[in-house]
Amino acid sequence: MKNNFQNEIEVNLYFIKSDFKEILIRLSDKIFENRERFLVNLNKKFDLIETDKYLWTHKKDSFLPHNIFDKKLSVLDYLVLFEGSYERMEKFQEFRKIIISPTVKISKFRFFEKFMIFSNKILTQSTLKEMKNKLLKNKIKHKIYYEYNSFKWKLVN
- pLDDT tens-digit series, residues 129-156: 998 998 999 889 999 999 999 999 999 9
What pTM was computed for the model? 0.88
Q: pLDDT > 90: what percent of the chain?
A: 54
Q: In one letter, which amino acid is 134?
A: K
Mean pLDDT of 67-89: 84
Q: In one letter, which amino acid is 95?
A: F
What structural domains and CATH numbers belong to the chain?
6-155 (3.40.50.10110)
Phi and psi angles of residue 74, each rounded to the nearest 5 degrees, phi first: -125, 170
Cα(71)–Cα(55) distance, integer angstroms:
16
CB 24 within 8 A of CB 156: no
Instruction: Give the mean pLDDT of the chain.
Output: 87
CB 144 within 8 A of CB 155: yes
Mapping DSSP to helix (H, G, I), strand (E, B) and coil, where does residue 145 land?
strand
